A = this chain, B = another copy of it.
Amino acid sequence: MTDIIVQKYGGSSLKSPERIKAVAQRIIDTKKRAKSVVAVVSAMGKSTNELIGLASQVSEQPIAREYDALISNGENISASLLSMAINDRGVKAISLTGAQAGIRTESLHKKAKILDVRTQRIQDELDKDQIVIITGFQGINQYDDITTIGRGGSDTSAVVLAAALRCQECEIYTDVDGVYTTDPRLEPAARKLTEVTYDEMLEMASLGAKVLHPRSVECAKENEITIHVRSSFNEHEGTRVRKESVMEVNQPVTGVTLNEQESIISIVGVPDQPGIAGRFFSYLAQQGVNVDMIIQSVENKTEPVNNISFSVLEDDLSLATKLTEEMAQTLKAKSVSTDSSIAKVSIVGVGMMSRPGVAAQMFQTLGESNINIKRITTSEIKVSCAIDRDKASQAVQLLHDAFGLAVVTQ
């Protein structure tokens, strides 16, 4: 019998009293196969958004400390309800807030890093044979103020707790069966993966596969915790995210991902001075804009001016455009233009490290169907192409087929 199992249940798994009761039963069943169970929970359904909506009605820019004090209540509510539902079935459970569970974070609000978990209270409750339900997404800082660790942070809370409690595996329950070769809504032949490596998952998570938050994967990688992503709606085995595949890697590409929400911003005619790009992108980063796929080119040999263009997520577009226009004025650039009709399609796989020609095969596949590639970025295990948004789902299907992802060969 396993010693401690750490599970995490997301908002969609807890969105109604009925779903909470179903999760309660699932946790009770888990307790039959483990000495101890720790369950980390997100807020019910969209309840965090409702709290954010209230905040925006009383303050345009809510002060960060109170923002955290406010939105952490979503997890408090789901944790106590879940504990009630378990107790109602005659099984002992106790809910602990981030503070009670000893989750100590940086003093920073809204995106604090977890520094340490003081597990004494958790251990005490486990020793009393209690199932321990812990609020995800939140902790407490050195001033005893409530902090939150950023959106999607409950996954990270669960992995950190698994590490602190010396578990090898962390089960993350969500509304999908696991990690797929691509989005099944785009490609019906998409296949659930039995396992992926941390690095593949990191690329996929940051490229738009919304199953796991990248921070949680990084944290699992650092602590060598296997994440088992599975559905809270059925009993199927899901996808294990782990250090390396147990079996030999046969395929160069593990998955195809799509991010439809990209936009390109271009500054035309920036006078060529050393260090301009560095200054510009540092400034954007300071303001919290994540920039991807940068292209810089020199236009005119005799009186050199730069054209700089880069892509951003659509969420950041209005802020990024505003900042770029300010900067363009300071730099005496000619003009700023934006293009919001971009999508980014990517192939990911540790197998491509040992196989040359994977990128070329991708470009060729897209080219044969007259899909124009506007930008390319690559990493060791990923190739991404910016293309027209209206070709996005076609591109996913073509690549899924070209790299043989529908067929199990692992």
Contacts and interface: CB of A to CB of B under 8 A. Distances in A.
A105 B144 CA distance: 19
Nearest first, the 8 A-B pairs at minimum CB distance are: A17-B57, A59-B88, A70-B80, A69-B80, A58-B85, A63-B87, A73-B73, A59-B84
Interface in A54-80: 54-55, 57-63, 65-67, 69-70, 73, 76-77, 79-80
Given A58-B20, A76-B73, A84 B67 contact: yes
Given A21-B58, A58-B84, 4 more contacts: A18-B57, A54-B77, A59-B87, A66-B95
A80 B95 contact: no
A381 interface: no
A22 to B, nearest CB: 11
A291 interface: no
A84 B100 contact: no
Contacts of A54: 17, 77, 81
A254 interface: no
Contacts of A95: 66, 69
A331 interface: no
7 contacts: A58-B85, A59-B88, A60-B88, A63-B83, A66-B95, A69-B95, A76-B76
A100 B63 contact: no
**Interface size bracket, A side:** 35 or more
A51 interface: yes
A94 interface: yes
A81 B63 contact: no
Contacts of A17: 54, 57-58
A94 B79 contact: no
Nearest to A146: B97
Given A76-B76, A100-B144, A144-B100, A55 B84 contact: yes
A84 to B, nearest CB: 4
Given A17-B54, A65-B94, A77 B73 contact: yes
A227 interface: no
A24 interface: yes
Contact of A24 (B18, B58, B60): B58
Contacts of A18: 57
A337 to B, nearest CB: 36
B76 A69 contact: yes
Contacts of A55: 81, 84
Contacts of A21: 58
Contacts of A70: 76-77, 80-81, 84
Interface in A379-401: none
A62 B84 contact: yes
Contacts of A61: 88
A63 B133 CA distance: 14
A300 B33 CA distance: 68
Contact of A84 (B63, B80, B82, B85): B63
Nearest to A17: B57
Interface centre among A65, A70, A97 (most CB of B within 10 A): A70
A85 B51 CA distance: 14
Nearest to A18: B57
Interface string A1-27: 000000000000000011011001000
